[in-house]
Amino acid sequence: MEGRGGPGLRESCGHKGKNIDVDIPKNCLVVITGPSGSGKSSLAFDTIYAEGQRRYVESLSSYARQFLGVQDKPDVDDISGLSPAISIEQKGVSHNPRSTVGTVTEVYDYLRLLFGRTGTPVCPQCGKPVERHTVDEILDMLMQKHEGEKVDILSPVVRGKKGEFRNLFLQYQKEGFLRARVDGTLLWLEEDIPLAKNRKHNIEVFIDRLTVDGNRRDRLAEAVENSLSLSGGYLMIVFGDQEVIITEKFACPECDIILPEIEPRLFSFNNPFGACPDCNGLGSHQYFSEELAVDPSGNVLDGALLPWKNRHYMLRKLAALARHRGWDLDRPFMDLPGEIREAIIHGDSIRVPMTYREGNREMSYMGRYEGLIPWLETRWKETDSESIMNELASYRAEDICQTCKGKRLRPEALSVRVDGLTIGEVVEMPVSELLERIGEPGFQILMKEPARRIIEEIAKRLSFMVDVGVGYLSLSRRADTLSSGESQRIRLATQIGSKLSGVLYVLDEPTIGLHPRDTSRLLGTLEAIRDLDNTVIVVEHDRDTMTRADYIVELGPAAGEHGGRVTACGKPSEIVSGNSLSGPFISGKDSGTSFRRGVLPDAPGWIVVKGAEENNLKSIDVSIPLGRLVCISGVSGSGKSTLLNEVLYKGLKRKLDKNFRGRAGRHRDIEGWEALRNVVMIDQSPIGRTPRSNPATYTQLFTPIRELFASLPESRIRGYKAGRFSFNVRGGRCEACKGDGEVRISMLFMPDVYVKCEVCQGKRYNRETLDIRYKSRNIAEVLEMTVDEARAFFGDIPRISRRLSVLQQAGLGYIRLGQPATTLSGGEAQRVKLAEELGKQFRGHTLYILDEPTTGLHYLDVRKLLVLLQKIIDQGNTVLLIEHNLDVLASADHIIDLGPEGGHQGGAVVATGSPSEIVRNAKGHTARHLGEFLDSIRRREADVR
């Protein structure tokens, strides 16, 4: 396909690239697809994006470069026609609790401007509008409303305060004032004015009495100015039997509450001027929770107080207090009287005889039992140990700030309104609803400078967010609670708002987490970016995305060492008509559907969640059959993750694992859990954060391998134990590189360079350890084997062979045993975890929960995944998935569809049953898309017959 120029990749040699040449047309939507592990991310991110970023940064001054993270030069001969590159990957936006959807997308900055420039303050106490007036405005108002009337001008200097105020009266008399109104009575200041010291009083200094007319404007202005100056900005006007207080400040005269200057910084929760003084702008408090720190069914002195297990010294102090008080603690915590439980948790002020041992002597002293929660708080403040901090953190819970009710701002900021809404109410609305509200007449009245441009920018950004499929989110949603797909789409919406041109965008599966209903709108957004003369490269497996692409690059033919080659490239029509892996999938002639069994016997049992109402769940009851492949479907934001992760997983974990201290989402009960032995969450997070983690260590495969090497005759002669063959501890590892196999060299203004360790030549071990060989292979050479090679090599050792067999079944035969965890894709990491679970000796009666396991998987890999999941089910387990992939939904035994929409319009059960029952039910978006997919399968099968 001809493009207007184009980055042409020449001789790419990444870790999976095989000296490939590829031409990618410029200013097009390009999809890179292929099996998992075939090198898609290596080509898109590690080569094209990395080189584009590197070239841009190299064009900057050395001073600027020192502040930028610079990537290594990729292993590529030449890339021509390359534009500045922007990467939007599957990574969280921020782990900072202060980051929200509003701050990340910059919508909140515009809202602060809007409220700071056009907001109307109201009194936070009485709710009445608060206005401030200049002297000229006050004069104009008096001339307009009271012309010809006689008015008294007074200055309210004391309002509702206790005291005798003798010195105050004397001061005003010296300043030339003659009279004051005290508690409603006009008195001469020269008189003795006795006041009750302990009663509250109101005092107004009498300034002037005059008739309002144009000829006396100067005298009226002088009286007004004197009143405002004397009282600090307040003025009282008395006409007839009525009186009015006017102020030149944002203040409520009736409640005597002064509001700060209304400006944008007042609405920033990251600024001390606007942040809630109680939670410092976080919207929540962390505290040590009795619920997390106490096992109510356990004995107090024998494990009920979770931080004090294993004969802790605080238990001896508690026992001493119990002896003194005459308490019987030899029973479960829940059975103790309330006052005893209170003392155990929060302490007792009395000092009692206590003992401690010093050597062989027992020492006595008078001491106090401070309580479990105070002890935890003291430790939290005093410790510098990261491990202790992590342990203590498991007993901490988070609760909404009661001062700001989670809105993060000080009360004065939350008293400013635009179209009747506070900024706290605005950011809690779903984006789609807020976009509709901005179009209503109330907001349209504000459409004049400076508010017009601000509102237009807000509406534009909200519209982009709706287009990328996150309209159900609120602007107040914390960024660290977003899924990887949501994070990526939010960053995509931000990039659309920037309207850059001539840029290369590289995206990693932007359809992650999107229901088929939302995919079309997202693709329209990508096409809009392309139409701004940008090149959009997408790593993707979605059929709709590939169909609408301008150009497709397919890598394969398999994964790992068998991948990394360009197996097809061209327009979608050319891919379909050619000999490619993805052609049959794009055309609908093939799919990842693996099995669709006939009528199943009755389920052996059911897990029933009662009254789930966390987040947007509408107090729903959900029944999950055991021994089945069950899928939770629904549009984005319908409550799927909340139901599975927060309610079901944590609720079951609390019942099945006494050591689990997480707080489950709100629900009444979970029935049928007794049929389970365990519940396991398998996500796509890395199996390790450092290159030291690898598939062999994660699956416990490395332990029997090290034990095998330690059992060899030469090892026994030398006295080598299994630890000798670990690259993580001293003894057998190379100390020059600490077992990393490479050494980092700092290059100051240039990126750090990693070079192979000169001592061990990248093998991680010292020479003595590498002398030990099994079947002529040393431990380093074993780690370099692929799973397939290792299976043949260790075929006669059941302990090792069995685990390798499971990795093969997971479709991971191509990965190396010692491959760093950081180089594994999300799909590969998840399948390693699945293999680790499948390889356990004690199986059955376990519920496995997976969140979108098809992320990053080619349709051929989806088929392998479904086979693997069925093997897990055949062992007497249940598999529960959150999934949008129609191949998986069509293969499910049971579907639970949530919706009907996202956000507050979701959280209900739309339909349940087998795939065919969901389609017949004809409710919701899933039924329509699944019905179309099943029809295409039936047509394909009919064509085959």
pLDDT at 10: 46
Cβ atoms of residues 714 and 724 within 8 Å: no
Cβ atoms of residues 455 and 419 within 8 Å: no
The three-state secondary structure class of 877 is coil
pLDDT at 281: 94
Q: Distance between CA atoms of 432 and 518, rounded to whole angstroms?
A: 14
Q: Distance between CA atoms of 763 and 760, rounded to whole angstroms?
A: 5
Residue 704 has pLDDT above 90, yes or no: yes
Structure tokens at 558: 């398999």
Best mean pLDDT range from 341-345, 594-598, 930-934: 341-345
What is the rounded average pLDDT of the residues 764-788?
93
Residue 806 has pLDDT above 60, yes or no: yes
Q: Which of 193-197, 585-589, 845-849, 937-941 has the lowest mean pLDDT?
A: 937-941
pLDDT at 545: 93
Residue 2 pLDDT class (50, 70, 90 cuts): very low
**pLDDT, tens digit (0-9, with 9 covering 90-100), for 427-486:** 999 999 999 998 887 776 766 767 888 998 999 999 989 988 889 899 999 988 887 778
Cβ atoms of residues 33 and 553 within 8 Å: yes
Residue 765 has pLDDT above 90, yes or no: yes
**pLDDT, tens digit (0-9, with 9 covering 90-100), for 553-590:** 999 888 767 788 899 999 999 999 888 889 988 888 88
pLDDT at 15: 43
Q: Which of 99-108, 553-562, 582-591, 835-844 has the lowest mean pLDDT?
A: 835-844
The three-state secondary structure class of 430 is strand
DSSP string computed for 715-782: HHHHT--GGGG-TTSTTTB-TTTTTSSEEEEEETTEEEEEEE-TTTTT--B-HHHHT--BTTB-HHHH
Burial profile 50-68: b = 16 or more Cβ within 10 angstroms, e = fewer: bbbbbeebeeeeeeebeee
Residue 742 pLDDT class (50, 70, 90 cuts): confident
Phi–psi pair at 635, nearest 5 degrees = -70, 165
Residue 366 has pLDDT above 80, yes or no: yes
The amino acid sitting at 363 is M
Q: What percent of the chain has pLDDT over 70?
A: 92
Q: Which of 187-191, 452-456, 536-540, 824-828 has the lowest mean pLDDT?
A: 824-828
Return mean pLDDT, the chain.
86
pLDDT at 11: 42
What is the rounded average pLDDT of the residues 318-331?
89
Burial profile 143-173: b = 16 or more Cβ within 10 angstroms, e = fewer: eeebeeeebbbbbbbbbeeebebeebbeebe
Whole-prediction pTM value? Answer: 0.77
Best mean pLDDT range from 90-104, 232-246, 916-930: 916-930
Residue ranges and CATH numbers for the domains of the chain are 8-92+482-586 (3.40.50.300), 133-248 (3.30.190.20), 285-400 (1.10.8.280), 606-686+826-944 (3.40.50.300), 695-823 (1.20.1580.10)
Residue 901 has pLDDT above 70, yes or no: yes
Residue 915 has pLDDT above 90, yes or no: yes
